[in-house]
Amino acid sequence: RDPIEAKSESKMFFNSPAYQNHTDYVTWLTNDTLTNFLQENENVFIDFFATWCGHSQRLYPTWFDFAKAVQREGLPVAIGALACDREPNNVCERLGVQGFPNLKWFINGTESLPKYNWGRKYMALLSYTKEKLQNQTKMAS
């Protein structure tokens, strides 16, 4: 991939309305902020993405709508996003992110298995989140 083209697409995304209008619902993470975010929130769902990736770009509006619904419904989960292609000494590699977008659920800072594979549609994301929270509540009882 041409690095100049990728940089241009990345810049376009971060200047786009999709990014600017949804920062209240999604916490934008970096290598420096990820650890604290995971420590401060019991349940975390993160979109590890690349700004140049077409699949990631198509997920943005859905991810933001999903995050807005999580907040509206008062679900106890923090929603984050980390642009793997913008981070030096990439934490994404350490976490085993190999393709984009890569959605991961964490409980108390530890990745929850099995890996997410429910799909990239709004209802799949919301149903998965509700099921994870329900299962967690059952296990705590």
Q: Which of 41, 52, 42 is nearest to 12 (CA)?
A: 52
**pLDDT tens for each residue of 5-39:** 444 554 555 555 555 545 678 999 999 999 999 99
DSSP state of 85: G
pTM for the complete prediction?
0.85
What pLDDT is stored for residue 6 in this prediction?
Answer: 44
Q: Which of 1, 121, 12 is nearest to 58 (CA)?
A: 121
Q: Is 53 helix (H, G, I), strand (E, B) or coil?
A: coil
**pLDDT tens for each residue of 83-96:** 999 887 779 999 99
Tokens describing residue 40: 């401060």
Class of residue 11 by CB neighbours under 10 A (exposed 0-12, middle 13-18, buried 19+): exposed
**pLDDT tens for each residue of 117-138:** 999 999 999 999 999 999 987 7
| Beta carbons of 63 and 125 less than 8 angstroms apart | yes
